[in-house]
Amino acid sequence: MTAPDDDARLPYVLTGAGRPTTVFAPGLGGSVEQTRPFGSGVRGTRAFLDHDEDDAAQSLTYADLAADVRGVADGTGATRAVGVSLGAGAILQLLAATPDRFECAVLVLPAALDRPRPALVAARMRAAAEKADRGDVEAVAAALRDLQPAAVRDRPDVVAWSRDRAQVLAGPAFARVLRAFADQRPLADRGVLAHCTAPVLVVGQEGDDAHPAPVARETAAALPNAELVVFPPGGLLWEYRARTRARISGFLNGTAEVDAEVDAEVDVDGPGVVGDLP
């Protein structure tokens, strides 16, 4: 069900029922279909922001995105939040401005904290913007693949996904978004996160230039009550889809929905502890 709300700048899609309500913020060029797997198994109502290319063109700063998340969260009574990549940056802005807005939150693949993205990634985004401006679907598809972890770029499902998204996104609106966020950072100073004491799960992965694992570690270190999970190379929605969903649902539902096999394959740090397991 799509439910535009007078208090929200964006439409959103509701799934599930009952309380609590969790708002989900997508990544760059993301769709509800891409974000929904992160909500699989999460109890209650789930509100997915519906960023199409025209809506995204109106949200060209992290402050804009944070306002989008807040509008949908307020409109649906959401007490929890999940942000993916760009959406994680939006939630970081919200946590910095209103530390007690959410009872808990999940930050999946944060791309930046208080420093700009890596120069290589920013250059790729600007190059992709040039291709999107020309409406070059194949070139945009190649650029989207380049923003995926190196270990999965040549997989048939990744190639097909990149081509499908490029057909939707190629155009001036997406180009504006790419240029706008190439050099932005969610926060001016990570120190403001010290006031956020709500539990936060930070999920990162190795081998991902666009979402460096050190950024996930730094984000968790800046939050007083953070739990950090760093997956090996391979892609959260490619190689580790089920395990990523189990981590997120287990955290939000307050249950231990992760088996020993998963614990053996990821770096896990409990609340208030950040670092690598031996």
Domain ranges of the chain: 12-115+184-269, 119-182
pLDDT confidence of residue 111? 94
Determine the CATH number of domain 12-115+184-269.
Answer: 3.40.50.1820
Q: Chunk the chain into consecutive blocks of 10 residues (it has 278) and report each block's average pLDDT, rounded to whole numbers.
A: 48 91 89 85 93 57 93 96 95 95 96 94 92 90 83 88 88 91 95 96 92 96 97 83 92 64 39 28
Cα distance between residue 87 and residue 81, in whole Å: 10
What pLDDT score was predicted for residue 9?
A: 52
Would you state the pLDDT for residue 203? 97
Q: Report pLDDT for 10.
A: 66
In the chain, what is the straight-line distance between the N-terminal and C-terminal CA atoms, in Å? 46
Whole-prediction pTM: 0.86
Whether cis (ω within 30° of 0) applies to the bond prior to 37 is: no
Residue 11: predicted pLDDT: 81
pLDDT of 213 reads 95
What local confidence, expressed as pLDDT, does residue 271 receive? 34
User: What pLDDT score does 146 carry?
Assistant: 80
What one-character DSSP code corresponds to residue 2? B
**DSSP structure class, residue 206:** S
Residue with tokens 């942000």: 83
User: Could you give the angle at which helices 62-76 and 86-97 cross, rounded to 10 degrees?
Assistant: 80
